[in-house]
Each structure stands twice: as structure tokens, then as C-alpha cells.
Amino acid sequence: MNEEALEKFISLLRFNEDGLIPVVVQDYATGEVLTLAYMNKDAVLQTLNTGKAWYWRRSHRRLMMKGERSGRVQLVKEVRIDCDSDTLLILVEQVGGAACHEGYRSCFFRRLRGDGEIEICSERLFEPKEVYKE
């Protein structure tokens, strides 16, 4: 995508007061929702320029490429924009199987049971302490 096309796309987006736009991330092949993340303008540009997902990590207060520490990158297959231009949907190929830093395929690995308790409903694919050695 050339610079003019990038800027045209960016100009369509409605970032919030913090300069962020929410991003729903789905598996390209299955449609499974992997995570909800946020991008700022730089993250959108990096994502479109590299073909890999970049996010503004609110907890780290910095721009990060998904998988930069774990190797579990997200290869972007398609970018969609919602009707209000204030949310993105990106369809990705999840390298390494797990999108969640807790070691699960999806960040949505817990569900509410009828009795009000929360249960883990997915298999852990890796041990975070082994991957994210601090």
C-alpha cells in the first residue's frame, strides 16, 4: 500500500480521546475471536506496512508487535473497518497457535457457568513463565 493510500485509510478512522481504536482480532481460517486489542495511528501504520499485527499496549504504555517476545506473531490477512469507522477487525494467521499471553489459543479462555462461577474452557498451549522470563 502506498503512502497516499495509507494516509487516506488513516483519515477514515475515528480514534478515541486517547488516540486509540479498538481492534477485534479473529483467526482468518476459523473466525475464532482471539483477542481485543487497541491500536494508535503508529500501530495501524506498522501493521499495514509490515503485514504483522502491532498494538498499543496500554499496560506497557508502548507500541509492540504481537509476538515480539514469544514468537507467536499474527500475520495479517485482511483488515476491515466498521460502519462508524471507530473499530477495526483484523483477520490473522496466528503463528504458534496461541494468541493469549496466558498461554491459551484465545484470550477468551474462561466462561461464565450457570451457577455464576467462572471456568477455564480451553487448553493451555504454553506455560507463560517459560516464555516471558522477566
Which grid cell is 69? 517476545
Question: 134 pLDDT exceeds 70?
Answer: no
CB-based contact 20:40 (threshold 8 Å) = yes
Q: Which amino acid is at 68?
A: E
The percentage of the chain sitting over the pLDDT mark of 90, rounded to a whole number, equals 90
Which grid cell is 51? 503485514
Q: What is the pLDDT of residues 82-106, one digit of tens each?
A: 999 999 999 999 999 999 999 999 9
Cα–Cα distance, 45 to 117 (Å, whole number) = 41
CB-based contact 94:74 (threshold 8 Å) = yes
Q: Cβ contacts of residue 27 below 8 Å, gap of 6+?
A: 34, 91, 92, 93, 94
**Confidence class for position 50, pLDDT limits 50, 70, 90:** very high
Cα–Cα distance, 114 to 107 (Å, whole number) = 21
CB atoms within 10 A of CB 128: 15
Q: Which amino acid is at 85?
A: S
Kindly state the DSSP code that residue 103 receives in the 8-state scheme. Answer: S
**Confidence class for position 133, pLDDT limits 50, 70, 90:** confident
Q: Which fold has domain 3-131?
A: Ubiquitin-like (UB roll) (3.10.20)
Q: Cβ contacts of residue 95 below 8 Å, gap of 6+?
A: 67, 71, 72, 73, 74, 75
Give mean pLDDT, residues 7-26: 97
Per-domain residue ranges of the chain: 3-131
User: What global pTM score does this model have?
Assistant: 0.91
